[in-house]
Amino acid sequence: MTTDEIKKKYLDFFTSSPRDHKQIPSASLVLENDPTTLFTSAGMQPLVPYLLGEPHPLGKRLVNSQPSIRTQDIEEIGDSRHTTYFEMLGNWSLGDYFKKEQIPWIWEFLTEVLALPPKKLYVSVFAGNGDVPRDEESYKIWRKLGVASDHIFAYGEDKNWWSRAGTPAQMPAGEIGGPTSEIFYEFTGVAHNKKFGNECHPNCDCGRFMEIGNSVFMVYKKTNRALEELPNKNVDFGGGLERITAAVNDDPDIFHLPVFGEIVKHIEDLSGKKYGKSEKETQAMRIVADHMRAAVAMAQEGLEPSNKLQGYIMRRLIRRSVVKMNTLMGKTTATDFGKITQTKPILNEVDRFSKTLQKGLREFEKLPKVDGEAAFNLYQTYGFPLELTLELAHEKGQKLDPKDFKEAFKKHQEMSRTQSAGKFKGGLADVGGETTKLHTVTHLLHAALRRVLGNHVSQKGSNITASRLRFDFTHHSPLTSEEIQKVENLINDQIKKSLPVSYAMMSLKEAKAAGALAFFTERYGDKVKVYTIGDDDSWFSREVCGGPHVTNLSEIKGRVKITKEKSASAGVRRVYAKIIT
């Protein structure tokens, strides 16, 4: 079976009776109004407001397939089953069904629709911690389905707890999470490798087992003090489409799937090496195949390699691919990569970086001493992997201790971890709070700009964090201070009037007929969500938008101030604004 066939079967299964889910469109890889993470990393991410309790326009049972990117283990890519970019099959209950429906349904899908042999499936349940009890209910449901007791494992919060931040202790205030029940597939003919521990078990990393699905019982929200129960008992299921396909094919190497096949074939042709022959070369090929697939997905979203945020991740993926191609084929060029992808921003980066690498080699020659910090700098600046530096150092008759490199590496890693933890925390606590307020202010700003400057103004992009909003729009000249003043006054007058904010579902045609602005259309099947600020017969703003928003402008509790105005690109202006309380 192919990934597409399995995706269709899953969506059909969950939309059909008695499950009756509504299919929601997949979100883009970079979420417009979520400052908490760089990329969409799970299907639940765009659904956070609804898991927190806001009603979803399509109801309480949702299903989709969500392209996702996980960057936390870029350095670990190279085994048979981890990838940076993947597609996640997901189904959600927003306070509707719970364990006794979810577990049998997912079992039915795997064992009947996909015909996976029940004996090859293992499951896990939460073993409990000081605050949340052991999940006996899930255990009993699995047993009732006929799963043998030696196929059910209980793990603690490091394995059977899910939140975007990790364990309960790692969750910042505002983050949601809960205990999980996972499903694993046991591949035929893969023996346990003692390198990964004496005993093999479903969560062992030796490659015999692979996790193919995770039902999160999303019932908790972290507060400043403890875990608090959410108003709704939610289910958040996610299953890696590529992994489920590997299980159906009983082939433990997901790089054998056609989605990777073509890239792997190009790498083989370019390097003259054979996939699967030597462990080291196979690993390098997987890294290039994975990173290129992810970088192409990013390029398709309009991202370009840069030194910041998403662009930085994209740059790292491309650079690492170049380094790995170098180890496979000696010197590599953009022309070689042109066989793998036609994407301009990627090829430009390959070109720039291969030249930098050559320069790095010359710099290296000049280094008086190759110590840990120097090796790290070579790694950081020129993408030199440690093995390469060791080999060169060796040629120069110098001794470099890999431990020194690792220490320097750890020091820098900790620094960047602290920085990203700060970012994560800052944003997350405010999903549904400050970010939501500023999202509503964005609509007010859009409407006010059109009234003051004219109807040629249309939104080109926006970016909202907990402390400010950024808004790009079409306009030919800088705003004068009078214009800025007028826009601010108009916005603040509406806030003072405590206008209501409401939404309705309609077709895009009806939305346009009702006067809604529709530049970014998030669709819910054939319907769109239209937010109105003001009364139905005399509104101030009406826009097609996914939400969330405040329900009344009085919740903004402050005055809006435009803090900066500048050019974003030709014919596009950029303003920053914040709420002053």
| SS3 state at 240 | strand
376 near ligand SER, rule: CB under 6 A: no
| SS3 state at 154 | strand
One of 27, 29, 38, 42 touching ligand SER (CB under 6 A)? 42
- DSSP characters for 463-487? EE-SS-EEEEEE-SSPPPHHHHHHH
The smaller minimum CB distance to ligand SER, of residues 174 and 345, is found at: 174
Minimum CB–partner distance for residue 41 and ligand SER (Å): 7
Minimum CB–partner distance for residue 214 and ligand SER (Å): 4
The smaller minimum CB distance to ligand SER, of residues 168 and 345, is found at: 168
Minimum CB–partner distance for residue 254 and ligand SER (Å): 17
CB 172 within 8 A of CB 165: yes
Backbone region of residue 464 per phi and psi (left: phi > 0; alpha: psi in -120 to 50; beta: other values): beta
Minimum CB–partner distance for residue 410 and ligand SER (Å): 27
238 near ligand SER, rule: CB under 6 A: yes
Burial label for 546, CB within 10 Å (0-12, 13-18, 19+), is buried
Q: Candidates 40-48, 170-178, 341-349, 427-435 — which segment interacts with ligand SER by CB under 6 A?
A: 40-48
In whole angstroms, what is the distance from residue 376 CA to residue 219 CA? 43
Of 123, 125, 52, which Cα lies nearest the Cα of 92?
52
Distances (CA, A) of 34 to 107, 304, 463, 520: 33, 20, 8, 15
Q: Candidates 234-242, 469-477, 493-501, 505-513 — which segment interacts with ligand SER by CB under 6 A?
A: 234-242
Size of residue set near ligand SER by CB under 6 A:
10
One of 44, 287, 469, 491 touching ligand SER (CB under 6 A)? 44
Minimum CB–partner distance for residue 216 and ligand SER (Å): 5
The DSSP output letter for 500 is: B
Burial profile 449-468: b = 16 or more Cβ within 10 angstroms, e = fewer: bbebbeeebebbebbbbbeb
Q: Which residues contact 262 (CB under 8 A, 6 or more apart)?
A: none
One of 10, 184, 185, 237 touching ligand SER (CB under 6 A)? 237
The smaller minimum CB distance to ligand SER, of residues 92 and 471, is found at: 92
Minimum CB–partner distance for residue 165 and ligand SER (Å): 12
Burial label for 83, CB within 10 Å (0-12, 13-18, 19+), is buried
Element (H, E) at 209: strand 209-222
Minimum CB–partner distance for residue 215 and ligand SER (Å): 7
Amino acid at 283: Q
Classify the C-alpha dihedral 532-533-534-537 as positive or negative: negative
Nearest residue to the partner ligand SER, using Cβ: 238
162 near ligand SER, rule: CB under 6 A: yes
One of 46, 49, 90, 360 touching ligand SER (CB under 6 A)? 90
The smaller minimum CB distance to ligand SER, of residues 91 and 332, is found at: 91
382 near ligand SER, rule: CB under 6 A: no
Q: For residue 119, how many other CB atoms are within 10 A of its CB? A: 11
Query: Binding string, 506-545, against ligand SER, x = CB under 6 A?
Result: ----------------------------------------
In whole angstroms, what is the distance from residue 73 CA to residue 82 CA? 8
The smaller minimum CB distance to ligand SER, of residues 230 and 479, is found at: 230
One of 33, 37, 160, 214 touching ligand SER (CB under 6 A)? 214
The smaller minimum CB distance to ligand SER, of residues 43 and 345, is found at: 43
Cis peptide before 478 (omega within 30 of 0): no
The smaller minimum CB distance to ligand SER, of residues 67 and 238, is found at: 238
The smaller minimum CB distance to ligand SER, of residues 238 and 252, is found at: 238
Minimum CB–partner distance for residue 517 and ligand SER (Å): 33
Minimum CB–partner distance for residue 164 and ligand SER (Å): 8
> 3-state DSSP: the chain helix, strand, coil percent, rounded to 5?
45, 20, 35
Minimum CB–partner distance for residue 498 and ligand SER (Å): 37
CB 69 within 8 A of CB 297: yes
The smaller minimum CB distance to ligand SER, of residues 237 and 255, is found at: 237
236 near ligand SER, rule: CB under 6 A: yes
One of 110, 141, 147, 216 touching ligand SER (CB under 6 A)? 216
Residues of the shown chain interacting with ligand SER in the complex, contacts defined by CB under 6 A: 42-44, 90, 162, 214, 216, 236-238
